[in-house]
């Protein structure tokens, strides 16, 4: 956990240094949409967009696998219940 926090702190410091050194205003054009913004802000927004796109592409496979795993576990419990000997009595 401490390693994760140290890496996060190093990343934050590097991001601040990058933002201070690259404070230029840039123009972004996509199709007919044009906007101006600072380079670090645009890069952060693009990174977040890419991260969210990756999550959205990953989610269907994740739900499919977790559903299959739940079904397999349910089948295993049913088989174990069938194989248990009846209680003495």
Per-residue pLDDT of the chain (89 residues; tens, 9 = 90+): 788 899 999 988 988 888 888 888 899 898 999 999 888 888 888 889 999 999 999 998 888 998 989 999 999 888 888 887 766 76
| Residue 23 structure tokens | 């404070």
Other beta carbons within 10 Å of 6:
10
Q: How far apart are CA 55 and CA 43, in angstroms?
A: 18
Phi, psi of 54 (to 5 degrees): -60, -40
Give pLDDT, residue 89.
60
Give pLDDT, residue 44.
83
Q: pTM for this structure?
A: 0.58
Structural domain boundaries of the chain? 17-75
Phi, psi of 84 (to 5 degrees): -70, 140
Give pLDDT, residue 46.
87
């Amino acid at each position: 956990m401490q390693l994760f926090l140290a890496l996060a702190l190093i990343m934050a410091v590097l991001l601040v240094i990058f933002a201070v050194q690259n404070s230029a205003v840039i123009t972004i054009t996509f199709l007919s949409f044009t906007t101006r913004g600072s380079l670090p802000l645009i890069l952060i927004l693009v990174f977040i967009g890419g991260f969210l796109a990756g999550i959205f592409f990953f989610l269907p496979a994740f739900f499919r696998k977790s559903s299959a795993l739940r079904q397999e576990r349910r089948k295993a419990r049913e088989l174990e219940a069938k194989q248990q000997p009846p209680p003495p009595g």
